[in-house]
Structure 1
Amino acid sequence: MHVRHLLILACLMLPLSAQAAERCPQTAPAGMHVLPGLCAEIIASGLKMPRGLAILPDGKLLLTEMTRWDAPQGRLLQLERKNGNWQQTVLLTGLDRPHGVVQGPDGKIYVGEVGRIIRFDLAAPQQRETVISLPLRQRHPLTTFALAANGDLYVNIGSSSDNCENAAPAEQASGRCPESEQDRAGVVWRYHIDNNGKVSDLGVFARGLRNSMALGVHPRSGILLQAENSRDAIQLKLQLPNDNELPHDELNLLQAGKHYGWPFCYDKQVAAPEFPAYDCSQTTPPYRLLPAHAAPLGLTWWLGPKAAPRFAGWLIVGFHGYRQHGHRLMAYPTDRQGLPTGQGLELISNWKDSKGPGGPVEIRAGADGALYITEDRHGQLIRLYAQP
């Protein structure tokens, strides 16, 4: 009898699911499994490695295209909705692997290139200037950042190695990593931009961070969250079959002056095999562990009066990884500060089609209540919103 009841329930659910899907104006992109109650649509396609995204007060979108990894051929696009369609305008070309983009308190647009941050006025985009010069890194050269309401700009300066494998054996044996000691890699740097556009260098904000591609400042509480892309190939030192589940990626609550472990520690203050004698108790543990090699590249909070009611205020994190825990969009309930408090829920799961896994990068919440997501593997800009 119990099995019969389950079959009846399953049959009843089928038409309900079909009706729910029909309420979305457009079919979800191929291979994208969207949580019931949400709709997804492609608003731009044919993009060339879209990465950074900013939403301007007038609703226009700014989007960076890296285009390729081996040449400065990146672009900055502006997208504007007119008569139900999104029209594209190219603002800048010839950029060196651009990533982060934001409108500063002075009204100018700031774009992160490899080794620098430039800015310009929207009325004259070709008259751009370099306002911040950054150290060049080999392994993680991309520049992304998060802007706080008070004008502080937190900038990722990723590591130049995987786990300081470039250090000499004697340096590793003594628990040293010269790369991290120089504060030119594996840190988050802080600058300040005032309303007149003056940029001040406030120095290193936090250390021990291998690659802080996902950075976000909560607009109300001001907390700074970072999602860490942890190291690779730990199995070679630990003599494991693979590194599919180790080490975990991390979600860190960044605070001034703290050290978050890289390259000496991983997971919850566990000494790295290259630095077995390191005292990890002096480092700050992750606020939360994320799945191994999920590769979080973007995060935001689903805020605003029109946000999907079920997820209003939730933390949204994009998992870019191509391995088993990647290619999905996660949502976490939060407290009043914006810190996650419960288990994550997949808004988009197992995002994969015949061309391969999806690759969510930047996520932004629009005034229309939708989430806007850049996806670089298929060259798309996605709009995710509550079902009408």
Structure 2
Amino acid sequence: MRFVFAGLTFATGTLGAFLSQSAIAQQRFPSSAGELVVETVASGLENPWGLAFLPDGRMLVTERPGRLRIVETDGKLSRPVTGVPSVMARGQGGLLDVTLDPAFARNRFVYFSFAEPRSGGNGTSVGRGKLNEQGTALTGVEVIFRQMPTISSNMHFGSRLVFDRTGALFVTVGDRYSERDQAQNPANHLGKVIRIRPEGGAPADNPKKQGWAPEIWSIGHRNVQGAALHPESGQLWTAEHGARGGDEVNTPKAGLNYGWPVITFGIDYSGTKIGEGTAKPGMEQPLFYWDPSIAPSGAAFYTGPVWPAWKNSLFVGALAGQMLVRLSTEGEKVTGEERLLTTIGERIRDVRQGPDGFLYLLSDDANGKILRVRPAR
């Protein structure tokens, strides 16, 4: 039997191998939808950052030091896929997100974001290449976007990759920490949401505002590390790091300003005030914010059959918070929050819904894991 998930066709038999394998470890946690079991699908990953499912049920996963691996259906890790360019693997930098082209079954394009080493510093870049049939190499790799200007910093690279329903690619990029005021400068790529064509360059329907770089979709962001399309509206939702407090959930719209660092619900790490307050005309309010911070990372909407009560919930991984957060939604409103896996003791870097309807998490650790969340049987 075969079925379609996120535009790709999957074979149920290959995914079943994940379900039948004996788990390396298993924990149980309460939830509003009944007891949850968390199983280790794979381990031995060095600071994994991004996860994408292949049509045959295997997974692509990035490791921040610069390795792209395939996780086989028995949980074993492949040798590093060749063809990945050099990355700046310091601080928060390295090999970051990964996603498949919506037409991957036909063109085999894989997209990845990374901290690119450059003369005078580094910056968030996006590359793409074709995964060969053997799954051992990316070929024809090219960089399709470079965040400019180049900055000498090890902080705030973003960086999530999300295709919209037109086939354009959203790229989230950070303010690079030392240059936070530049998040308000629409002429550069610091602290922005970017939208590009799959081959690079700005789509014709991007905002056409005076002084705006053509790739920019929205401005005034700090460090967006969670992003997903709403399954019904197709609207982009993001989860963004604040400083001390002020982590935000936003729905970035074309040409709008989301305020950082002029308005924020957080304060600086020193305890001093940031900006002018929490609101200002011409700047958007978040749909939801956390204070104190949870340090949100990967995000995914739930659409599967396993937990029908959680349909259209936004799941967000927490790094500092070491948990999984479920935000119930109605239209463009957050109607509730449920904190899950609060004693798991893992920094949750990415969240994905698997083609089996379960949730898959990456733990950010030197011995990082892929974790599967399922109902207790």
For the aligned pair, the TM-score class normalised by the smaller chain equals: 0.7 to 0.9
1:224 aligns with 2:209: no
Amino acid at match of 1:48: E
Native 8 Å contact 1:252 1:288 kept in 2 = yes
Structure 2: gaps (5+ residues): 1-21, 88-93, 116-123, 204-214, 267-271
Alignment-mate amino acid for residue 99 of structure 1? L
Task: Describe the SS at the equivalent of 2:81.
Answer: strand
Distance apart, 1:310 and its partner CA: 3.2
Alignment partner of 1:148 is 2:160: no
Cα displacement string for residues 62-86 of structure 1 (whole angstroms, at most 9, x for unaligned residues): 100003xxxxxx10011121xxx22
| 1:13 equivalent in structure 2 | none
Query: Which of the numbers 126, 130, 154 marks the counterpart of 1:121?
Result: 130
Counterpart position of 2:322:
327
Q: How many residues align?
A: 310
1:55 deviation in Å? 1.3
The answer on whether the counterparts of 1:113 and 1:142 sit within 8 Å (CA) in structure 2 is: no
Change over 3 Å in CA distance of 1:122–1:344 after alignment to 2 = same
1:163–1:278 CA distance, 2 compared to 1 (3 A): farther
Shift of 1:331: 1.0
What do the CA deviations read for 1:130-184 (whole angstroms, capped 9, x no partner)? 22222344221353221112212111120122674xxxxxxxxxxxx35632432
Structure 1 residue ranges without an equivalent (≥5): 1-24, 68-73, 165-176, 233-246, 353-357
Aligned to 1:295: 295
> 2-side partners of 1:34 and 1:91: how far apart?
38
Rounded Cα–Cα distance in structure 2 between residues aligned with 1:179 and 1:332: 27
Task: Tell me, yes or no, if the aligned pair for 2:263 and 2:274 is still in contact at 8 Å.
Answer: no
TM-score, normalised on structure 2? 0.75
Percent identity of equivalent pairs: 25
2:81 alignment partner in structure 1: 91
After TM superposition, the structure 1 = structure 2 runs for residues 68-83 of structure 1, keeping only pairs within 5 Å, are: 74-81=66-73
1:99-144: CA deviations, max 9, x gaps? Answer: 1111113420001111321111111514422222223442213532
Q: Which amino acid aligns with 1:201?
A: A
* Partner of residue 353 from structure 2, selected from 353, 362, 365: 365
CA distance in 2, matches of 1:220, 1:104: 20
Mapped pair 1:346 → 2:339: yes
How do 1:49-198 residues align onto structure 2 when only pairs under 5 Å count?
A: 49-67=47-65, 74-81=66-73, 85-89=74-78, 90-92=80-82, 95-96=86-87, 97-107=94-104, 108-114=109-115, 115-123=124-132, 124-135=137-148, 136-137=150-151, 138=153, 139-161=155-177, 164=180, 177-178=181-182, 180-181=184-185, 182-193=187-198, 198=199
Please report how far the alpha carbon of residue 95 of structure 1 lies from its aligned counterpart in structure 2 after TM superposition.
Answer: 4.2
Q: Alpha carbons of 1:41 and 1:340: their partners in 2 closer, same or farther (altered >3 Å)?
A: farther
Aligned equivalents of 1:26, 1:44: Cα separation in 2: 9
Alignment RMSD (CA, Å): 2.6
Report the secondary structure of 1:303's partner residue.
coil
| CA drift at 1:253 | 1.4
The answer for the alignment partner of 1:14 in structure 2 is none
Q: What residue in structure 2 maps to residue 208 of structure 1?
A: 220
CA distance in 1, matches of 2:288, 2:348: 21
Change (3 A) 1:275 1:379: closer
- In 2, distance between residues paired with 1:78 and 1:207? 35
SS at match of 2:166: coil
Structure 2: which amino acid aligns with 1:331?
R
Structure 2 contact 26–37 (Cα < 8 Å) conserved: no
Counterpart Cα distance in 1 of 2:64 and 2:228: 21
Separation in 2, partners of 1:39, 1:100: 26
Structure 2 vs 1, CA of residues 101 and 309 (structure 1 numbering), >3 Å: closer, same or farther? same
**Amino acid aligned to 1:161:** Y
In the superposition, relative to structure 1, how do residues 186 and 295 fare at CA in structure 2: closer, same or farther (>3 Å)? same
